[in-house]
Amino acid sequence: MSTPTIPDWISAASSFLSIPIIIWGIVKIFKKDKNQERKINSLENLAISQDEMIKKMTEQINELAKQTSEYQFQSVLMKESNSLISKQIELQNDIFLHNKGIEEKKLEIQEIKRLSEIKPHFTNNGGSGSSSNFLINLKNKGFTARNLRLNKIRGEFIIFEKLNPEVEIDSGKNIEIKANITPSGRNQDNGNRDYEIELLFEDIDGNKYKQKIENRKIGNPELIKE
C-alpha cells in the first residue's frame, strides 16, 4: 500500500470542501424547485379561480341572454296583444258608429212617420169679401192643430183679426180668418190690397209649423226647427 502524496491530500481536501458547495447547490436547486412549485401552484390556483370566475360569468351571461330573449319574446307578445286590442277597439268603434248611424236613421224614420201621422194641414175652403172686409175659410185635412196665431208679413191696408190660441182645430174642422180693409185702402184698386201672412200652429206633440197664405193662395205646412 502506497502512502498518499501531498497533491492527493490537496485533491481530497478540495473534493471534501466542494461537497458543501454541491449540497448547497442542490439545496438551492430544491429551493428553486420549491419556489417554482409554489409559483406553479399559485398559477394553477389562479387558473382554477379564473376558470371558476369565467364559468360564473358565463352562467350570468347565459342567464342574462335568456332573460333578454324572454323579455324580447314578451315584448313581441305585448306588441301583438296591443295591436290586437287596438284593432278590436277600432272594430267596436266602427260597429258602434255603424249601429249608432242605423239607430239614428231608425229614429229619424220614426220621427218622420210620427210627424206625418200628427201633422195638421190646412187647405183653402173658399171665402167671401167686400170693399171693406174679407174672410178666408180654411179646412184642416191633417191632424189636430193647437195654439193658432197669425203673423202678417205684408198688407199695408189690411188688418187681420187675432185668432183664439186656446181653440183647437181637429181634423176635418174649419177655421175662418177675418180681415178688415182700412178706409184709405178701400179707395185703392185690388192690386194695392195684396197681402201675405203666416198661419202659425202646433201639433199635439208641440212641434211648430207655419203655412204661408198669399192673396188667398195657401202653401204647404213647413216644420219650424228650433
| 97, pLDDT greater than 70 | yes
Cut 0.75: pTM above it: no
DSSP secondary-structure letter at 91?
Answer: H
* pLDDT tens-digit readout, 174-199: 999 999 998 887 776 654 578 999 99
Record the cell numbers describing residue 188, joined without a space.
185703392
Say how many CA atoms lie within 13 Å of 224 toward its Cβ: 14
Mean pLDDT of 92-108: 79
Q: Which of 172, 158, 170, 157 is nearest to 201 (CA)?
A: 170
pLDDT for 79 equals 75
| 87, pLDDT greater than 80 | no
| 17, pLDDT greater than 70 | no
| 167, pLDDT greater than 50 | yes
Mean pLDDT of 57-77: 66
DSSP string of 115-171, one letter each residue? HHHH---EEEEEEEE-SSEEEEEEEE-SS-BEEEEEEEEE-TTEEEPPP-TT--B-T
CA distance 143 to 167: 14
* pLDDT tens-digit readout, 40-53: 566 556 556 666 76
Mean pLDDT of 155-162: 92
Number of residues that make up the chain: 226
CA distance 121 to 143: 7
CA distance 162 to 151: 10
Secondary structure class of 173 (helix, strand, coil): coil
Greater confidence (45 vs 161) lies with 161
Output the CA torsion sign for 37, 41, 44, 50.
Answer: negative
Q: Mean pLDDT for the chain?
A: 78
| 29, pLDDT greater than 70 | no
pLDDT for 9 equals 46
Q: Is 196 exposed, middle or buried (0-12, 13-18, 19+ CB in 10 A)?
A: middle
Secondary structure class of 5 (helix, strand, coil): coil
CA distance 141 to 138: 9
* pLDDT tens-digit readout, 101-146: 888 888 888 888 998 999 999 999 998 888 889 999 999 999 999 9
Q: Which of 160, 225, 226 is nearest to 197 (CA)?
A: 160
Query: Which H/E stretch holds residue 196?
Result: strand 196-202
